[in-house]
Structure 1
Amino acid sequence: MVKIYLGPAGVPHSSKKKNTIDGIRTVKELGLNAMEVEFVQGVRMSRETAEEAGKVAKELGVRLSVHAPYFINLCSEEKDKIEASKQRILDTADRAELMGADAIAIHIAFYGKMSPKECYQNVKEGLAEVIDKAKEMGIKNVKFGVETMAKETAFGTLDEVISISKELKGVIPYIDWAHTFARQGGEIDYGKIIDRLIKELGLTHINSHFESLVSRKGKYVDEHIPIDANAPPFEPLAKELLKRDISISLICESPELERDALKMKEVLERLGYRLE
C-alpha cells in the first residue's frame, strides 16, 4: 500500500513567523505531513536550530527533506568552485542529519564545455569524495539526492540520475516530475518512471518535487507556476501511486506552496487516499 508524505518547499505562506520551526508547526496545522527545508540561497541555519527543528518535526509527525544551495557545480572549470560546491553539499547534509531529514536535493552540475559523459565522470568522482567525507563527519542517514533537471545544459536526465544512483551508495534520484516532463519534451509516463526506480534501484521511498512549468514557443522552461496549469498534470501521478506499494515525498514547489499542496491532497482524497 502506498504511503504519501505531502507538503511545501519551504515555510508556508500562511505561517505567522517565517522560520523553519514555525513552518513545520503550520504544515501540521494545515493537515499536511512533509516539508522541504530550503537552503537554496546558502546554509545559514545553526546546528542548534537544525536539532530543534528535528525535534519539533518528530513530535508532530512531519517528514523533512532539505534543498541544497543553488550555487553548486561539480563540473565547473574552476577548481575552487568545485571545492566550494562540495562544502555546500556537506554543510547541507550536516544540518539535514541533525534535523532527522531523510534526503537532500542537489542541482549537481552544468555540462559547460564538457560532454555529458565527461561531466558524469566529474560528478561521480566529486560526489564519491563528498560521501566519504560525510561518513567521517558522522552523517549516516541522509541520502544525497541528485535532482532531475529541466534545462538541457544541466546534468540531470532521468537516465543520468538513475545511473549515478546505481554506482554510488547513498545517492538517490530526487525526481522533479515537472523538470523530467520538460526534459522529455513535454511528455511523462509516471508509472514507467516509478517502476524503474523500484526495479532498477530497489527504492522503497521516492523523494520528489511537483509543480507546473511555463511553456514558451512550444517548449517547457524551468519557470515554476501553480499546478492549475497541468504542465504536467497531477492526477495521473496520484493514480499511478495508488496502484503501487511505495512510499513517496511529494514536495510542492509551486509558487502557491501550501495552497497547491492542499489541492494535491484534495485530488488524493477524491481518489480514496487519506494523509496520515
Structure 2
Amino acid sequence: MVKIYLGPAGVPLSSKKRSTIDGIRTVKELGLNAMEVEFVQGVKMKPEAAEEAGKVAEELGVRLSVHAPYFINLCSDDKEKVKASKARILDTADRAERMKADAIAIHIAFYGKMSPEECYQQVKSELGEVVDTARSQGIKNVKFGVETMAKESAFGTIDEVISISKEVKGVIPYIDWAHTFARQDGKINYGEIIDRLQKELNLTHINSHFESLVFRNGKYVDEHLPIDNEAPPFRPLAEELLKRENLSITLICESPELERDALKMKKVLEELGYKFS
C-alpha cells in the first residue's frame, strides 16, 4: 500500500513559537508527519540550526523537504543573476542535506527572451553543474526538485520536469498539483501523472504540493486558496493514491490554511481507509 507523508509548507499557524524546530514539534502534535521548510525569502538558517532541526525531525518521525528561494532564474539573460541563482540552490541543498531532508523544491526559470527549448537546454546545463558541484561538496542525498509551474511564462510543464529529470542525474519532478492543473487549463488526470512518474522515471517517492488556485479572467492563476475551493479537487487524488502499491508520497499543503487544510486532507484519506501510523 502507498505510504503518505502529509504536512504544511512552513511552521504551522498554530505553533506558539515560529522556529523550524517548534514547527516540527507542532506538526507531530497535530498528528501530521511531514513539513516543508521554507527558504522562499532567502537561506537564512545557519548550518548548525539545520542539523539540530534534522535531529528533532528524525526523533519525531517527521519527513522534511525544503523550498528554495523564489529569486532563482537559470534562464536569465543576466549572467550574474544565473550565478546568484546557482548559489541559492546550493545553499538550499546544503541546509537540506544537514537537516536530512529528502528533496528541495525549485522554481527553476522563466523563458524570458528564450524559446522553451532554448531555456530547457540552459536549465539542463546550469542545473547539471549545480548538481555536480553539490556532490563534490558532500551533498550526497538531497534530490533537486524542479517544480511544475502555473504561469505560462515559467519553465515547468509536466513534460519539461519529467524530461529534465531523465536527463540530469539527481533531479526529480516536484509536482505542484494545482500548478499543473492551471497549466493544463483546469484539467488534471492524477492517475496518468502518477503512472508517468512511476513508469518513465521509476520513482518510488513523489514530492508534491497541494492547494487550490484563484480563477480570474477565464483562467486559473497562481494565487493560493483553501482546498475547499476544489481547484483542483483533492479527493480524486486521494482515491488514486490508495490504489497504488510500492509508492510513497509527500503531500505538502500550500493552502493559506496550512495545517487546517492538511488535517482536512488527512480526514479524506482516513475516510477512504488509509491509516496514518
Q: Name the TM-score, length of structure 1 as normaliser.
A: 1.00
Question: In structure 2, what is the equivalent of residue 177 of structure 1?
Answer: 177
Aligned equivalents of 2:214, 2:268: Cα separation in 1: 22
Aligned equivalents of 1:168, 1:237: Cα separation in 2: 28
Q: Name the TM-score, length of structure 2 as normaliser.
A: 0.99
Aligned equivalents of 2:34, 2:85: Cα separation in 1: 27
- Give the 5 Å matches for 1:69-108: 69-108=69-108
Other structure's SS at 1:233 match: coil
| Structure 1 residue 218, shift from structure 2 partner | 2.0
Q: Which sections of structure 2, spanning at least 5 residues, go unmatched? A: none
Question: In structure 1, what is the equivalent of residue 64 of structure 2?
Answer: 64
Q: Give CA deviations for 1:173-225 in whole Å, capped at 9, x if unaligned.
A: 00000000000000000000000000000000000000000001220000000
Question: In structure 1, what is the equivalent of residue 53 of structure 2?
Answer: 53
Aligned equivalents of 2:45, 2:137: Cα separation in 1: 18
Q: Give CA deviations for 1:68-113 in whole Å, capped at 9, x if unaligned.
A: 0000000000000000000000000000000000000000000001
Question: In structure 2, what is the equivalent of residue 270 of structure 1?
Answer: 271
| Structure 1 residue 275, shift from structure 2 partner | 1.5
Query: Which residue identity lines up with residue 212 of structure 1 in the other structure?
Result: S
Aligned equivalents of 1:88, 1:103: Cα separation in 2: 15
Q: Give CA deviations for 1:129-166 in whole Å, capped at 9, x if unaligned.
A: 00110011100000000000000000000000000000
Q: Percent identity?
A: 82
State the Cα RMSD in Å: 0.4
| Structure 1 residue 261, shift from structure 2 partner | 0.1
Query: Which residue identity lines up with residue 262 of structure 1 in the other structure?
Result: L
Question: In structure 1, what is the equivalent of residue 128 of structure 2?
Answer: 128
Aligned equivalents of 1:88, 1:214: Cα separation in 2: 29
Q: Provide the aligned length of Structure 1 versus Structure 2.
A: 276
Aligned equivalents of 2:238, 2:218: Cα separation in 1: 26
Q: Which sections of structure 1, spanning at least 5 residues, go unmatched? A: none
Aligned equivalents of 2:195, 2:90: Cα separation in 1: 30
Q: Give CA deviations for 1:27-52 in whole Å, capped at 9, x if unaligned.
A: 00000000000000000000000000
Aligned equivalents of 2:111, 2:268: Cα separation in 1: 38
Question: In structure 1, what is the equivalent of residue 152 of structure 2?
Answer: 152
Question: In structure 2, what is the equivalent of residue 237 of structure 1?
Answer: 237
Aligned equivalents of 2:4, 2:151: Cα separation in 1: 28
